[in-house]
């Protein structure tokens, strides 16, 4: 197995913050480590991801290694030079501010098949288990049910529906029809006579 490394010097991040990210990425495939760095909320993850990409490019271009087989063997973080600054405070005092830097070294090596084992295929579907033999009681009940004739919907007895009684229709006798017609004609003639009498009286008064 061949080891390839890349180094970033004078990174403006304290070594303590970088080590928190580096310890979670050891012994991971390079592809998974880069994905983990992209989802980490720490700012140091971006600096670590740059060094890992550089080591991956060195292994792929300079040593003709397959990038899918690369695994992070180690990530070393060493303290770099410290920039000393100060902050003036009350009563003429000076509070010191230390701007720390770090050197990040990423070492990758090729381990064929490691990345493929991590991306495993879907588990096989569960196969149906062999059914257990039914007990004697249920077997006897099924045999008895098989001997009985099958009933259908037509075999079932249905209570006959009661016929509805027809209401008697009130019919007037045929003999009454002409009599009623005569009564109406008589009423009309009486009404005409009354109207004529009223007209005669109105004419007499007008004379």
Asked whether residue 13 is assigned to any structural domain, the reply reads: yes
Q: Looking at residue 5, what is its pLDDT?
A: 94
Number of domains in the chain: 1
Asked whether residue 76 is assigned to any structural domain, the reply reads: yes
Question: What is the tens place of the pLDDT at every residue in 28-87?
Answer: 999 999 999 999 999 999 999 999 999 999 999 999 999 899 999 999 999 999 999 999
Asked whether residue 96 is assigned to any structural domain, the reply reads: yes
The answer to whether 111 and 2 are in contact (CB under 8 A) is no
CATH of the domain at 86: 3.90.470.10
Asked whether residue 112 is assigned to any structural domain, the reply reads: yes
Domain span at residue 9?
Answer: 3-118
User: For residue 68, what is the DSSP state?
Assistant: G
The answer to whether 57 and 65 are in contact (CB under 8 A) is no
Asked whether residue 199 is assigned to any structural domain, the reply reads: no
Distance CA 188, CA 182 (A): 10
Asked whether residue 159 is assigned to any structural domain, the reply reads: no
Asked whether residue 59 is assigned to any structural domain, the reply reads: yes
Asked whether residue 150 is assigned to any structural domain, the reply reads: no
């Amino acid at each position: 197995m061949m080891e390839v490394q890349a180094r970033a010097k004078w990174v403006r991040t304290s070594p303590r913050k970088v080590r928190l990210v580096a310890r979670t990425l050891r012994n991971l495939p390079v592809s998974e480590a880069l994905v983990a760095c992209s989802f980490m909320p720490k700012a140091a993850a971006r600096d670590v991801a740059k060094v890992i990409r550089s080591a991956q490019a060195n292994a792929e271009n300079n040593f003709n290694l397959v990038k899918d087989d690369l695994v992070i063997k180690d990530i070393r973080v060493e303290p770099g030079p410290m920039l000393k600054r100060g902050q003036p405070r009350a009563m003429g005092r000076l509070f010191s501010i230390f701007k720390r830097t770090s050197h990040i070294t990423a070492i990758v090596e090729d381990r064929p098949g490691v990345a493929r084992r991590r991306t495993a295929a879907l588990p096989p579907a569960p196969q149906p288990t062999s059914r257990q033999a039914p007990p004697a009681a249920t077997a006897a009940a099924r045999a008895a049910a098989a001997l009985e004739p099958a009933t259908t919907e037509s075999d079932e007895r249905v209570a006959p529906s009661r016929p509805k009684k027809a209401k008697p229709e009130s019919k007037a006798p045929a003999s009454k029809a002409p009599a009623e017609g005569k009564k109406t004609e008589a009423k009309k003639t009486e009404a005409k006579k009354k109207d004529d009498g009223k007209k005669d009286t109105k004419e007499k008064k007008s004379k």
